[in-house]
Structure 1
Protein backbone atom coordinates (compact mmCIF):
# COMPACT_ATOMS: atom_id res chain seq x y z
CA UNK A 1 0.00 0.00 0.00
CA UNK A 2 1.37 3.41 -0.92
CA UNK A 3 1.61 6.14 1.70
CA UNK A 4 -1.19 8.70 1.51
CA UNK A 5 -0.23 12.34 1.29
CA UNK A 6 -2.44 14.88 3.13
CA UNK A 7 -4.40 15.90 0.03
CA UNK A 8 -5.52 12.31 -0.62
CA UNK A 9 -6.49 11.86 3.03
CA UNK A 10 -8.66 14.96 2.87
CA UNK A 11 -10.35 13.80 -0.33
CA UNK A 12 -10.95 10.36 1.14
CA UNK A 13 -12.37 11.87 4.34
CA UNK A 14 -14.64 14.14 2.31
CA UNK A 15 -15.87 11.30 0.09
CA UNK A 16 -16.61 9.03 3.04
CA UNK A 17 -18.44 11.76 4.96
CA UNK A 18 -20.56 12.65 1.91
CA UNK A 19 -21.52 9.01 1.41
CA UNK A 20 -22.41 8.54 5.07
CA UNK A 21 -24.49 11.73 5.05
CA UNK A 22 -26.32 10.64 1.89
CA UNK A 23 -27.08 7.20 3.33
CA UNK A 24 -28.29 8.70 6.61
CA UNK A 25 -30.62 11.10 4.78
CA UNK A 26 -32.05 8.33 2.62
CA UNK A 27 -32.66 6.01 5.57
CA UNK A 28 -34.18 8.79 7.69
CA UNK A 29 -36.55 9.94 4.98
CA UNK A 30 -37.61 6.35 4.27
CA UNK A 31 -38.32 5.77 7.96
CA UNK A 32 -40.26 9.02 8.26
CA UNK A 33 -42.20 8.46 5.07
CA UNK A 34 -43.16 4.87 5.73
CA UNK A 35 -43.68 4.80 9.49
CA UNK A 36 -45.03 8.25 10.29
CA UNK A 37 -48.60 8.81 9.12
CA UNK A 38 -48.55 12.46 10.23
CA UNK A 39 -46.76 13.34 6.99
CA UNK A 40 -49.87 12.17 5.12
CA UNK A 41 -52.53 13.12 7.68
CA UNK A 42 -51.81 16.84 7.50
CA UNK A 43 -52.26 17.19 3.70
CA UNK A 44 -55.36 14.97 3.91
CA UNK A 45 -56.76 17.21 6.65
CA UNK A 46 -56.07 20.30 4.54
CA UNK A 47 -57.73 18.72 1.53
CA UNK A 48 -60.80 17.77 3.54
CA UNK A 49 -61.19 21.29 4.97
CA UNK A 50 -60.12 23.45 2.02
CA UNK A 51 -61.43 21.70 -1.07
CA UNK A 52 -65.08 22.35 -1.94
CA UNK A 53 -65.04 19.64 -4.62
CA UNK A 54 -64.35 16.96 -2.00
CA UNK A 55 -67.13 18.29 0.21
CA UNK A 56 -69.55 18.16 -2.70
CA UNK A 57 -68.49 14.58 -3.45
CA UNK A 58 -69.26 13.61 0.14
CA UNK A 59 -72.72 15.16 0.23
CA UNK A 60 -73.98 14.16 -3.22
CA UNK A 61 -74.73 10.59 -4.07
CA UNK A 62 -73.58 10.57 -7.67
CA UNK A 63 -73.75 7.38 -9.64
CA UNK A 64 -71.97 7.72 -12.97
CA UNK A 65 -73.77 6.64 -16.07
CA UNK A 66 -71.97 4.98 -18.94
CA UNK A 67 -73.07 7.68 -21.40
CA UNK A 68 -71.50 10.44 -19.27
CA UNK A 69 -68.00 9.37 -20.35
CA UNK A 70 -66.37 8.58 -23.70
CA UNK A 71 -66.45 4.88 -24.61
CA UNK A 72 -62.83 4.03 -23.71
CA UNK A 73 -62.41 6.37 -20.74
CA UNK A 74 -62.68 4.81 -17.31
CA UNK A 75 -65.09 6.25 -14.79
CA UNK A 76 -63.15 7.95 -11.96
CA UNK A 77 -63.77 6.20 -8.67
CA UNK A 78 -60.91 7.79 -6.76
CA UNK A 79 -61.36 11.26 -5.28
CA UNK A 80 -57.74 12.16 -6.07
CA UNK A 81 -58.32 11.35 -9.73
CA UNK A 82 -61.44 13.50 -9.59
CA UNK A 83 -59.30 16.36 -8.29
CA UNK A 84 -56.74 15.83 -11.03
CA UNK A 85 -59.44 15.79 -13.72
CA UNK A 86 -60.84 19.08 -12.36
CA UNK A 87 -57.45 20.76 -11.81
CA UNK A 88 -58.59 24.22 -12.93
CA UNK A 89 -61.52 24.36 -10.53
CA UNK A 90 -59.52 23.23 -7.47
CA UNK A 91 -58.46 25.67 -4.76
CA UNK A 92 -54.85 26.86 -4.57
CA UNK A 93 -54.16 24.76 -1.45
CA UNK A 94 -55.25 21.64 -3.32
CA UNK A 95 -53.10 22.54 -6.30
CA UNK A 96 -50.04 23.02 -4.10
CA UNK A 97 -50.56 19.72 -2.27
CA UNK A 98 -51.20 17.73 -5.44
CA UNK A 99 -48.31 19.49 -7.20
CA UNK A 100 -45.93 18.65 -4.35
CA UNK A 101 -46.83 14.96 -4.30
CA UNK A 102 -46.79 14.65 -8.09
CA UNK A 103 -43.41 16.40 -8.32
CA UNK A 104 -41.98 14.22 -5.54
CA UNK A 105 -43.24 11.10 -7.31
CA UNK A 106 -41.91 12.16 -10.71
CA UNK A 107 -38.49 13.24 -9.40
CA UNK A 108 -38.20 10.01 -7.42
CA UNK A 109 -39.07 8.00 -10.49
CA UNK A 110 -36.54 9.78 -12.70
CA UNK A 111 -33.68 9.96 -10.21
CA UNK A 112 -34.03 6.47 -8.74
CA UNK A 113 -34.01 4.69 -12.09
CA UNK A 114 -30.81 6.60 -12.96
CA UNK A 115 -29.13 5.31 -9.75
CA UNK A 116 -29.10 8.75 -8.13
CA UNK A 117 -29.77 9.10 -4.39
CA UNK A 118 -33.50 9.61 -3.97
CA UNK A 119 -35.91 8.06 -1.53
Structure 2
Protein backbone atom coordinates (compact mmCIF):
# COMPACT_ATOMS: atom_id res chain seq x y z
CA UNK A 1 0.00 0.00 0.00
CA UNK A 2 2.79 2.43 0.81
CA UNK A 3 4.28 4.24 -1.11
CA UNK A 4 1.12 5.44 -2.87
CA UNK A 5 0.88 5.17 -6.61
CA UNK A 6 1.36 8.34 -8.73
CA UNK A 7 -2.36 9.03 -9.06
CA UNK A 8 -2.80 9.05 -5.28
CA UNK A 9 0.12 11.46 -4.96
CA UNK A 10 -1.47 13.80 -7.51
CA UNK A 11 -4.84 13.72 -5.76
CA UNK A 12 -3.20 14.33 -2.38
CA UNK A 13 -1.14 17.20 -3.80
CA UNK A 14 -4.22 18.73 -5.41
CA UNK A 15 -6.23 18.44 -2.18
CA UNK A 16 -3.46 20.03 -0.11
CA UNK A 17 -2.96 22.87 -2.60
CA UNK A 18 -6.72 23.57 -2.70
CA UNK A 19 -6.87 23.67 1.09
CA UNK A 20 -3.87 25.99 1.30
CA UNK A 21 -5.41 28.26 -1.34
CA UNK A 22 -8.76 28.50 0.49
CA UNK A 23 -6.98 29.08 3.77
CA UNK A 24 -4.89 31.89 2.30
CA UNK A 25 -7.96 33.48 0.69
CA UNK A 26 -9.93 33.32 3.93
CA UNK A 27 -7.11 34.85 5.93
CA UNK A 28 -6.51 37.57 3.33
CA UNK A 29 -10.18 38.56 3.15
CA UNK A 30 -10.40 38.50 6.93
CA UNK A 31 -7.37 40.80 7.22
CA UNK A 32 -8.45 43.11 4.41
CA UNK A 33 -12.11 43.46 5.33
CA UNK A 34 -11.99 43.24 9.10
CA UNK A 35 -8.81 44.88 10.24
CA UNK A 36 -8.21 47.38 7.45
CA UNK A 37 -10.65 50.28 7.41
CA UNK A 38 -9.52 51.48 3.96
CA UNK A 39 -12.33 49.59 2.20
CA UNK A 40 -14.92 51.28 4.41
CA UNK A 41 -13.25 54.69 4.22
CA UNK A 42 -13.18 54.61 0.44
CA UNK A 43 -16.80 53.52 0.11
CA UNK A 44 -17.89 56.16 2.64
CA UNK A 45 -15.90 58.77 0.71
CA UNK A 46 -17.63 57.79 -2.53
CA UNK A 47 -21.05 57.79 -0.89
CA UNK A 48 -20.47 61.13 0.77
CA UNK A 49 -19.36 62.87 -2.42
CA UNK A 50 -21.56 61.14 -5.01
CA UNK A 51 -24.95 60.72 -3.34
CA UNK A 52 -27.18 63.79 -3.17
CA UNK A 53 -29.69 61.99 -0.95
CA UNK A 54 -27.11 61.77 1.83
CA UNK A 55 -26.47 65.49 1.62
CA UNK A 56 -30.18 66.23 1.92
CA UNK A 57 -30.46 63.89 4.92
CA UNK A 58 -27.33 65.44 6.40
CA UNK A 59 -28.71 68.98 6.39
CA UNK A 60 -32.14 68.25 7.91
CA UNK A 61 -32.31 64.62 9.11
CA UNK A 62 -35.52 64.93 11.12
CA UNK A 63 -37.72 66.45 8.40
CA UNK A 64 -39.09 64.78 5.28
CA UNK A 65 -37.32 65.16 1.96
CA UNK A 66 -37.99 68.08 -0.37
CA UNK A 67 -41.46 68.51 -1.87
CA UNK A 68 -40.31 67.20 -5.25
CA UNK A 69 -39.51 63.74 -3.83
CA UNK A 70 -41.77 60.87 -4.87
CA UNK A 71 -44.53 59.90 -2.43
CA UNK A 72 -43.82 57.02 -0.14
CA UNK A 73 -40.19 57.89 0.57
CA UNK A 74 -39.18 57.48 4.17
CA UNK A 75 -36.51 59.41 6.03
CA UNK A 76 -35.09 57.23 8.81
CA UNK A 77 -32.51 58.29 11.34
CA UNK A 78 -29.91 55.91 9.89
CA UNK A 79 -28.66 57.28 6.58
CA UNK A 80 -27.81 53.84 5.17
CA UNK A 81 -31.38 52.72 5.77
CA UNK A 82 -32.47 55.91 4.01
CA UNK A 83 -30.47 54.87 0.99
CA UNK A 84 -31.97 51.39 1.08
CA UNK A 85 -35.52 52.74 1.38
CA UNK A 86 -34.94 55.05 -1.60
CA UNK A 87 -33.03 52.51 -3.73
CA UNK A 88 -34.58 53.62 -7.03
CA UNK A 89 -33.51 57.24 -6.63
CA UNK A 90 -29.90 56.42 -5.68
CA UNK A 91 -27.03 56.91 -8.10
CA UNK A 92 -25.31 53.97 -9.80
CA UNK A 93 -22.23 54.27 -7.56
CA UNK A 94 -24.41 54.07 -4.45
CA UNK A 95 -26.29 51.07 -5.78
CA UNK A 96 -23.01 49.27 -6.54
CA UNK A 97 -21.56 49.97 -3.09
CA UNK A 98 -24.74 48.97 -1.26
CA UNK A 99 -25.15 45.92 -3.48
CA UNK A 100 -21.59 44.81 -2.74
CA UNK A 101 -22.00 45.08 1.02
CA UNK A 102 -25.45 43.47 1.02
CA UNK A 103 -24.21 40.59 -1.15
CA UNK A 104 -21.15 40.11 1.07
CA UNK A 105 -23.38 40.04 4.15
CA UNK A 106 -25.94 37.64 2.68
CA UNK A 107 -23.32 35.26 1.24
CA UNK A 108 -21.45 35.27 4.53
CA UNK A 109 -24.65 34.54 6.42
CA UNK A 110 -25.66 31.63 4.18
CA UNK A 111 -22.21 30.10 3.74
CA UNK A 112 -21.11 30.42 7.37
CA UNK A 113 -24.32 28.84 8.66
CA UNK A 114 -23.74 25.88 6.35
CA UNK A 115 -20.13 25.42 7.54
CA UNK A 116 -18.70 26.50 4.21
CA UNK A 117 -15.49 28.55 4.03
CA UNK A 118 -16.33 32.22 4.53
CA UNK A 119 -14.83 34.89 6.71
Q: Which TM-score band (shorter chain)?
A: 0.7 to 0.9
Q: What SS is found at the alignment partner of 1:115?
A: coil
Gaps of at least 5 residues in structure 1 are 65-74
Partner of 1:59: 59
Partner of 1:24: 24
Partner of 1:89: 89
Runs of 4+ that moved beyond 4 A: none
Q: What SS is found at the alignment partner of 2:2?
A: coil
When the two structures are superposed, what TM-score results if normalisation uses the length of structure 2?
0.84
Partner of 2:50: 50
**RMSD between aligned alpha carbons?**
1.6
Partner of 1:67: none
CA distance in structure 2 between the partners assigned to 1:76 and 1:54 by the alignment = 12
Q: What SS is found at the alignment partner of 2:118?
A: coil
CA distance in structure 2 between the partners assigned to 1:95 and 1:37 by the alignment = 20
TM-superposed CA distance for 1:61, in Å, is 5.0
- With over 3 angstroms needed to count, the CA separation of the structure-2 counterparts of 1:61 and 1:103, relative to structure 1, is closer
Partner of 1:68: none
Q: Which has the higher contact order (CA 8 A, sep 6+)?
A: 1
When the two structures are superposed, what TM-score results if normalisation uses the length of structure 1?
0.84
Partner of 2:104: 104
Partner of 1:69: none
TM-superposed CA distance for 1:63, in Å, is 4.9
**2:33 pairs with 1:40:** no
TM-superposed CA distance for 1:20, in Å, is 0.9
